[in-house]
Amino acid sequence: MFTNDISIDLGTATMQVYIKDKGIVLREPTVIAVNTDTNEVCAVGKDALKMLGKTPPNITAVRPLHDGVISNFTLTQEMIKAFLSRILSKSIIRPRIMMCVPSGVTDVEQRAVIESAREAGAKDIYIIEEPVAAALGAGYDISQPHGTMVIDIGGGTTDIAVLSLGGVVISRSLKIAGDEFTEAIVRYVRKEFNLHIGPKTAERIKIKIGGVVPYPKELLCEAKGLCSVTGLPKSVTISSNRLYPIFDELVFNITERIKEVLEETPPELHGDIIQDGIVMTGGGSLIYGLDRRISEEIGVNVYLASDITDCVALGAGIALDGIDTVNDPTHIFHKKAYIRD
């Protein structure tokens, strides 16, 4: 029996690793910092995140994934290796890895994910689609002929899918997710206050006072940045009451895509979705009021999963756990992508 079965949710914003009987053992920002003179990795995860936008010329700190897929293959590989070495340091057994991929991922993108796990030392690699993993992690029995609808809003991508009999019946992926809400704040602050702020500042504002509906009571947050008129540092106060309308277009784009998926869903599954509601996962779902707005727009109940940011890794773990059982009851959820000789 293998002791090194691990499941990885490699996201645009965060990487989560799940190990059976241990739970989530790693939850780190997907950021890597490299010394460009020596090509050595200086930091990964939280330590590298602190360096984003603050590095001297010979160090570069980047997010090697963009819009849910690998944009810098070498750095993604180095980052995964660094994370896995923390977990597997005392083990000589190569791990079996269940990797999550967005639904609708291209062959090239999928190969990049598989290759990065292989280079990081995986023995066997399995692939599972993120909405399938998200639903499993949220506690749904998706093996039955019963429709389940999942909306996973991450940093770079929103995956909308209807599942039945262990697979994706219909899905849409759009490159509008949590990070687009952050970028909308950067643009708003620049236009309204002539103030340049970085993405980390904008994300802090989003988490503190951002919402797609008004808060019961106005919230305020200070933003510091560079004045584009004077070129000097400046600080302004942002109000939640002015912020929520700037997200309208993003909410519209997401809800339109959800409506498209519902329209294309076979009628037999509609009843199940109306009866059960829709489950939302991913950190981007946490923006205040998004579940309520979506529910109002489409007329179906929307629920936030309980382990909202860990669902995908947990669900991938559930799928991997079944592999050694007789007839592998979880085989309908995943596929074998690489077996080492």
CB of 152 to Mg ion, least distance (A): 6
> Using CB distances below 5 to 8 A depending on partner kind, what does residue 70 bind out of Mg ion, ligand ATP, none?
none
Nearer to ligand ATP, 161 or 323 (CB): 161
Give the other-Cβ count within 10 Å of 178's Cβ: 27
Residue 18 one-letter amino acid:
Y
CB of 280 to Mg ion, least distance (A): 12
> Using CB distances below 5 to 8 A depending on partner kind, what does residue 286 bind out of ligand ATP, Mg ion, none?
ligand ATP
End-to-end CA distance of the chain: 18
User: What backbone phi and psi angles, to 5 degrees, belong to 69?
Assistant: -130, 165
Nearer to ligand ATP, 163 or 323 (CB): 163
- Binders of ligand ATP in range 131-170 (CB under 6 A): 154-157
Residue in 123, 151, 122 with CA at minimum distance from that of residue 298: 151
CB of 282 to Mg ion, least distance (A): 5
**DSSP three-state, residue 243:** helix
Residue sitting closest to Mg ion (CB): 154
How would you class 89 by CB atoms within 10 Å of its CB: exposed for 0-12, middle for 13-18, buried for 19 or more? exposed
Q: What is the dihedral of CA 9, 15, 17, 18, to 10 degrees?
A: -60
- Our finding on whether 129 is near ligand ATP (CB under 6 A) is no
> Using CB distances below 5 to 8 A depending on partner kind, what does residue 287 bind out of Mg ion, ligand ATP, none?
ligand ATP
Please check whether residue 203 is in contact with residue 181, taking contact to mean a CB–CB distance below 8 angstroms: no
Residues of this chain that interact with Mg ion (CB under 5 A) are 11, 154
- Our finding on whether 12 is near ligand ATP (CB under 6 A) is yes
Interface residues toward ligand ATP, by CB under 6 A: 11-14, 68, 154-157, 177-179, 182, 203, 206-207, 282-284, 286-287, 309
